[in-house]
Structure 1
Amino acid sequence: MASPWWQRAVVYQIYPRSFADASGDGVGDLAGVIARLDHLRGAPGALGVDAIWLSPFYPSPMADFGYDVADYTDVDPLFGTLADVDRLVAECHARGLRVIVDWVPNHSSDRHPWFVASRSSRSDPKRDWYVWRDGRPGGRPPNDWRSSFDRVGAAWTLDEATGQWYLHKFTAEQPDLNWANPEVEAAMLDTLRFWLDRGVDGFRIDVAHEVGSVPEPPAGTPGTEPWLRDQDWPGSHRVMGRVREVLEEYDGDRMAVGEVYVFDQRRLTGYLAGDELHLAHNFVFMNTPWSARAFRQTVEEFDAVAPPGAWPSWCLENHDHARVASRYDGGGRGPARARAAALLVLLLRGTAFLFQGQELGLPDAEVPPERVVDVDGRDPERAPIPWEPPSAAGPGAGFTAGEPWLPIVADAERLAASVQRDDPRSALALYRRLLELRAATPALHEGRQTMLGGGDDLLAWVREARGERWLVAVNFADGPLRPRLGGAGAPAGELVLSTDPGRAEGRVALAGLELARDEGVVVRLDRA
């Protein structure tokens, strides 16, 4: 029986504000996404991903750039219309692309009609749709919880008109929904059905581990410990189970991936125990330092603690984290390490998630103080995609005909997609080859995995299925490395791909194989 599509998939995150701007106002939109779909799939030279994940496009005051939702069943005019969503879904499906929509269940915007009603009076029928509490003596908030955003401070805001405080684990413009209220649960689950009825294939669930949290400590919790940032609440598991039930009302092919921002993989995999999420983003992996030993420990620990049937997923970039080429720069080694890191995301056993521009090897953009707009300093990784070199397309670099809402990356002339498209040595060419190889090779998208030893300098593993065995090895050392690969179980093979564009491919003896600094290779092993 074939494995589910989401287990084999490479999912590409689109941050609509920064992907492509068709209107010329400097902000990306859904029409721009449609115009650039051939970059992803369905055209010669396309990247070859299997699904897109769209960050929020809902009506929003943009206090948190769309994660403050004012209407869960519509589209902000900045991005387009519901008809644009329908056309996007149809265009994706025609190309064989699945569509995953970001769903934000922990909080709404303070402009959402539900919260406008809730704060209007203590007796309003929707008062209990949000988390309201009396303060402590001396005008203090109900407890010492802090926002996940350091610049915001307390996670409570006093509503002067009604004399109570409301909870917001992010900005004050993002009040937390009260999932203990059955009416909230029913209304929010209906928003899932709205998009499922329009043909979307699944959801990425924002801060899934926070949904259903309450300001009273769990039983046995001492004092006022800061359980806020890194907690998976019992209520969150119940809500994820209800989400799964909604998905299974449909054709059985819909999926949910959760943003479960915890740093304990046993707790993380608890969300994958059969009747909750299909996948969960692994932030232990995303925050791993550039160390072969650290990555190996993370991968092996996941396998050791995961319940039966739990499927891993891997990502190293998204809209909230510095890009790999910047995060792992290490004295100018960022571009080479970013190429090597592609093997970690795409060839380890699990579902792969890419962030737009990752396939171009983009670093973070330089954002001068006067251009900073995000409350949590995440502007550099959210810079617009350079589709064309500025010398040909102007300062908007093919992203927009207007003024980009954030600066384009400094090296857009060299990193633009059109420049990389026909360069066999480019990051884009490497990603295209990797995705093509993964899709065509059962061992690399569904096969068993064996991690090999190698200390701090070598990360190596073997994938196997249907009689084929493949070796993947990445050099983390400060110089060339001649690894010992006896555990690979074969003396030789065919070097099919290297992240070093200067490497000649062909037959290799594993005993004599030398990896350049920051190089990763893929070898089809000889049959035993």
Structure 2
Amino acid sequence: MKKRLSGLIAVVIAFMLLAPGCSRTTRYEYEQPLNVVNDAYRTWYEVFVPSFYDADGDGTGDLAGLTARLDYLNDGKGGGLGVGGIWLMPIMPSPSYHKYDVTDYENVDPAYGTLGDLERLVTECHKRGMRLIIDYELNHTSSQHPWFLSATATLQQNPAQPAANPYLEYYNFVRGRPAVGSYARVGTTDWYYEDQFSPSMPDLNLDNAGLRTQIQKSTRFWLDKGVDGFRLDGVLYYYGGNNSGDTDRNVAFVDWLVDYCRTIDPDAYVVGEVWSNASTIAEYYGSHASSFFAFPFAQATGVVASTLNGTGADASAQSFCKATAAWQRMLQEYDMQAIDAPFIGNHDTARPAGFFSGDLQKTKMAGGLYLMMSGGPFVYYGEELGMTGSRIDEDKRGPMQWSDTVTTGMTKGPPGMDPPVLLFEAEEVQDKDPGSLLNYYRRAIRLRNENPEIARGTVTVLGGIADPEVCAIAKAWNGSHIILVISTSEEAKVVEFSRTANQCTGIRGYLSTTGAAVTLRGDRLTLPPMSIVVLK
């Protein structure tokens, strides 16, 4: 495969206006047979269970509700959104609405259902070829966890000479308030405990052998239930006070946990949250976890949004393509088996429809850019509908917008949430609109499922393009290659593309934000505004 497109792409019409009527959705003629590979390179869907679908009518989403709507995600027959896996945000018992402060590591919160409900969900996911992973909160527990209650009771009974209690070693207790770090007081004693997130979330001492045995026990419990892996919360904060992060110790702990997971299930998928810069995230791949989230490409200030909003150094299609190639190389320096985890938004960040100010084209294109990246991307529930939410965390976790008219299954959302602002139609309307954001996402994920090179391919940026708004990359995998040509221009582009020189016979599929078709006549490739084409 040549690293330069021979006469490839020379833009011959810099700005070409679409003919009247071309903004309407053109009949799509390139659907290919599915070629889904059963491995860890999947498109994942993040679900906040209480906001997704309510099966029992109490206003809180539950596991039974998610099971009832699995066909929306993947019906096992090529229909639905097409995702290959689900990440459940915390489901373990907890006193908070978000459940990130656990009181029992081996149960389901009663508000969400039962262990039996979870097992049914796992079974139904597996029937459809989907995997299911759950959030795992190991940096801290709830202050209501029995371990912590026992430990603090011991300290308060005799602060001067506490009785022996193994749970005292499960947490980071110190006598006298440290000058550095975040610590909370135990009652009126002179004992303090580390609480990097909140006094209601005491940090665990992950070096303790007894605690590690408990973690292994709980890990086996969930894997034995059929869960396919874990999303590790707050990995950056496992070791190191004052949110500093001790990378070497954090990596070593993740490596220990991943190794244990794979003694039980060799295919266990583990993805970690390291909310940091590119070089720090890359270092964590030394743990041999499957993936870490690609924060540099996400959010309103990340590479994807900057590419489309025309700000900063990452403000062009060409810089985007170069960034994706450089990112892949960086990760593989630490682990050749690294599986990137790109995303545009999650439960902690503003939703993209909001930070693109309701611009449907940009919202679509943002999805297209990160869904064409290598690895296993994560779609946040409702993102495919253009849901909004940014002011507070509760707003980012609002009710899934199934319908404007039918209340069945609708949830009430987190307490304290602002009323949802709907920029686009609900699911029942978008489902029937070929030009909707929902159907754009379906098409993007379908392209991944038709062309395994998109997820798995080694990326090479192809030269020969002068226009910064157009770029091309090759992805080679398993003896096959595809070429992605990306235009971030708000105008149509026509480029010269030598099929012979670039070993491509034609179009495999495309993503169009306007509904206009991508065409290839001879060696002339016509790209509608903000579009992506797959060539092979």
Please report the TM-score for the alignment, with normalisation by the length of structure 2: 0.80
Counterpart in the other structure of 1:428: 438
Identity %: 30
Cα distance, 1:199–1:512 mapped onto 2, change above 3 Å: closer
1:354-365 mapped onto 2 (5 Å cutoff): 354-364=379-389
Q: Does 1:130 align with 2:171?
A: yes
Counterpart in the other structure of 1:246: 260
1:388-403 mapped onto 2 (5 Å cutoff): 388-389=403-404, 392-394=405-407, 398-400=409-411
Cα distance, 1:263–1:490 mapped onto 2, change above 3 Å: same
Q: Take 1:3 and 1:415, find their aligned partners in 2: how far apart are those partners?
A: 30
1:82-161 mapped onto 2 (5 Å cutoff): 82-122=115-155, 123=162, 124-135=165-176, 141-145=177-181, 155-161=182-188
Counterpart in the other structure of 2:396: 381
Question: Of 201, 212, 220, which residue of structure 2 is paired with 1:185?
Answer: 212
Question: Do the aligned partners of 1:260 and 1:280 also contact (CA within 8 Å) in 2?
Answer: yes
Cα distance, 1:173–1:508 mapped onto 2, change above 3 Å: farther
Instruction: Give the counterpart letter for 1:499 in structure 2.
Output: S
Deviating more after overlay: 167-176 vs 473-482:
473-482
Cα distance, 1:476–1:505 mapped onto 2, change above 3 Å: closer
Counterpart in the other structure of 1:220: none
Alpha-carbon displacement from aligned partner over 1:509-528 (angstroms, at most 9, x marks no partner): 66553442xx1221324xxx
Q: Does 1:38 align with 2:71?
A: yes
Q: Does 1:207 align with 2:207?
A: no
Q: Take 1:479 and 1:312, find their aligned partners in 2: how far apart are those partners?
A: 31
Question: Do the aligned partners of 1:25 and 1:403 also contact (CA within 8 Å) in 2?
Answer: no
Cα distance, 1:181–1:251 mapped onto 2, change above 3 Å: closer
Counterpart in the other structure of 2:88: 54
Instruction: Give the counterpart letter for 1:14 in structure 2.
Output: V
1:311 is paired with a residue whose SS is coil
Counterpart in the other structure of 1:313: 341
Cα distance, 1:491–1:54 mapped onto 2, change above 3 Å: closer
Alpha-carbon displacement from aligned partner over 1:329-357 (angstroms, at most 9, x marks no partner): 3xx53x21121122222222211111111
1:437-448 mapped onto 2 (5 Å cutoff): 437-448=447-458
Question: Do the aligned partners of 1:13 and 1:53 also contact (CA within 8 Å) in 2?
Answer: yes
Deviating more after overlay: 202-211 vs 472-481:
472-481
1:453-472 mapped onto 2 (5 Å cutoff): 457-465=469-477, 469-472=481-484
Question: Of 474, 499, 512, which residue of structure 1 is paired with 2:512?
Answer: 499
Quote how far apart the aligned CAs of 1:500 are.
Answer: 2.3
Quote how far apart the aligned CAs of 1:20 are.
Answer: 0.8
Counterpart in the other structure of 1:150: none
Counterpart in the other structure of 1:221: none
Cα distance, 1:523–1:441 mapped onto 2, change above 3 Å: closer
Q: Take 1:313 and 1:5, find their aligned partners in 2: how far apart are those partners?
A: 17
Quote how far apart the aligned CAs of 1:420 are.
Answer: 1.4
Gaps of 5+ in 2: 1-34, 156-161, 308-314
Question: Do the aligned partners of 2:91 and 2:109 also contact (CA within 8 Å) in 1?
Answer: yes
Q: Take 1:356 and 1:495, find their aligned partners in 2: how far apart are those partners?
A: 28
Gaps of 5+ in 1: 136-140, 146-154, 216-225, 368-376
Counterpart in the other structure of 1:20: 53
Cα distance, 1:423–1:75 mapped onto 2, change above 3 Å: same
Q: Take 1:118 and 1:482, find their aligned partners in 2: how far apart are those partners?
A: 69
Question: Of 257, 279, 288, which residue of structure 2 is paired with 1:276?
Answer: 288
Counterpart in the other structure of 1:409: 420
Figure out how many residues of one structure are paired with residues of the other and give that number. Answer: 473
Question: Do the aligned partners of 1:339 and 1:361 also contact (CA within 8 Å) in 2?
Answer: no
Counterpart in the other structure of 1:222: none
Cα distance, 1:495–1:197 mapped onto 2, change above 3 Å: closer
Q: Take 1:428 and 1:117, find their aligned partners in 2: how far apart are those partners?
A: 49
Question: Do the aligned partners of 2:520 and 2:526 also contact (CA within 8 Å) in 1?
Answer: no
Question: Do the aligned partners of 1:319 and 1:355 also contact (CA within 8 Å) in 2?
Answer: yes
Q: Does 1:233 align with 2:247?
A: yes
1:280-359 mapped onto 2 (5 Å cutoff): 280-286=292-298, 287-288=302-303, 289-290=306-307, 291-292=315-316, 295-306=320-331, 307=333, 308-329=336-357, 332-333=358-359, 335-359=360-384
Q: Does 1:419 align with 2:429?
A: yes
Question: Do the aligned partners of 1:12 and 1:52 also contact (CA within 8 Å) in 2?
Answer: yes
Question: Do the aligned partners of 1:495 and 1:506 also contact (CA within 8 Å) in 2?
Answer: no
Instruction: Give the counterpart letter for 1:380 in structure 2.
Output: D
Question: Do the aligned partners of 2:49 and 2:63 also contact (CA within 8 Å) in 1?
Answer: yes
Q: Does 1:257 align with 2:290?
A: no
Instruction: Give the counterpart letter for 1:125 in structure 2.
Output: P
Cα distance, 1:250–1:353 mapped onto 2, change above 3 Å: same
Please report the TM-score for the alignment, with normalisation by the length of structure 1: 0.82
2:393 is paired with a residue whose SS is coil
Quote how far apart the aligned CAs of 1:326 are.
Answer: 1.6
Cα distance, 1:301–1:419 mapped onto 2, change above 3 Å: same
Question: Do the aligned partners of 1:452 and 1:460 also contact (CA within 8 Å) in 2?
Answer: yes
Quote how far apart the aligned CAs of 1:128 are.
Answer: 1.8
Alpha-carbon displacement from aligned partner over 1:359-390 (angstroms, at most 9, x marks no partner): 2232337x7xxxxxxxxx2222211111112x
Quote how far apart the aligned CAs of 1:34 are.
Answer: 0.9
Q: Take 2:323 and 2:179, find their aligned partners in 1: how far apart are those partners?
A: 35
Cα distance, 1:418–1:480 mapped onto 2, change above 3 Å: same
Quote how far apart the aligned CAs of 1:13 are.
Answer: 0.8
Question: Do the aligned partners of 1:362 and 1:415 also contact (CA within 8 Å) in 2?
Answer: no
Quote how far apart the aligned CAs of 1:508 are.
Answer: 4.4
Counterpart in the other structure of 2:25: none
Q: Take 1:465 and 1:301, find their aligned partners in 2: how far apart are those partners?
A: 18
Question: Do the aligned partners of 1:18 and 1:385 also contact (CA within 8 Å) in 2?
Answer: yes
1:386 is paired with a residue whose SS is coil
Quote how far apart the aligned CAs of 1:41 are.
Answer: 1.1
Quote how far apart the aligned CAs of 1:130 are.
Answer: 0.6
Cα distance, 1:465–1:278 mapped onto 2, change above 3 Å: closer
2:251 is paired with a residue whose SS is helix
Cα distance, 1:143–1:25 mapped onto 2, change above 3 Å: farther
Question: Do the aligned partners of 1:442 and 1:466 also contact (CA within 8 Å) in 2?
Answer: no
Q: Take 2:522 and 2:52, find their aligned partners in 1: how far apart are those partners?
A: 44
Deviating more after overlay: 377-386 vs 197-206:
377-386
Quote how far apart the aligned CAs of 1:180 are.
Answer: 1.8
Quote how far apart the aligned CAs of 1:480 are.
Answer: 4.8
